[in-house]
Amino acid sequence: MDAPLIGVLALQGGFEAHERMLHRLGARTRQVRVPEDLRGLDGLVLPGGESTTMTLGVEREGLAEPLRELAAAGTPILGSCAGLIMLDREHLGLMDIRADRNAFGRQIRSFEADVQMQGLAGGPIRGIFIRAPSIAEHGAGVEIVGGIDGHPVAARQGRMLAVSFHTELGDDDRVHRLFLEWVGEVR
C-alpha cells in the first residue's frame, strides 16, 4: 500500500513543521490552500498559527464546507493550537468543543509542560504552549484525553484529535504516530 497522503492546511501558521514530522514518519503530504487540494486525502492536519487569519483564509478560499464534508466522511483530523480553535463550535464546528483562546496568557507567557495523554503510551509528552487555547466546554461525545493545571488541553471526538500545544515543534512524534494509526485504520 502507498504511504498515506496527509493534507496540511497551509493558509498560515506552522504547517511546514507538521509536514517535516509527517515525512519523517513515512507519510506523503499535500499543502491545502483551496478545496481541490482536499481530494484524495487520507487525513488532515490543522496547524498552529493565528486562528483569525486562518478563518479569513478558509472563508476567502471557500474551504469551510469542503472541510466539513471531509470530516463527515470520517477522515482523521489532527488540530494543534490554533487548529484546536478551528475545530471548535464557533469556527468550523467539526468538534463539539468551545475553545478559550490564549487561555494561558499572551506570547510572553509561553511555556513547556509535561502532558499525560490517555491513549498515548510511553509516559507524558512534552507540550509546547504558545498563546495556547484550552477547552472551555465540551459535549458528551467528546473525550478529554489530557490536561494541565485543571485545564483540558487535549480532546478526542471520533477520529479527530485536538491539542492545545504544538506537537510538531518537539522531537516526540507520538501524537503524529497515533494520528497516522487512525489513518491506517480508515484506509
Active-site residue list: 81, 166, 168
3-state DSSP call for residue 134? strand
- Residue environment code for 7-23, b if the CB has 16+ CB neighbours within 10 A, otherwise e: bbbbbbbbbebbbebbe
Please tell me the distance from the alpha carbon of residue 25 to that of residue 127, in angstroms, as a whole number. Answer: 19
CA distances in angstroms from 116 to 35, 100, 103, 123, listed in the order given: 35, 20, 19, 7
Please tell me the distance from the alpha carbon of residue 2 to that of residue 20, in angstroms, as a whole number. Answer: 18
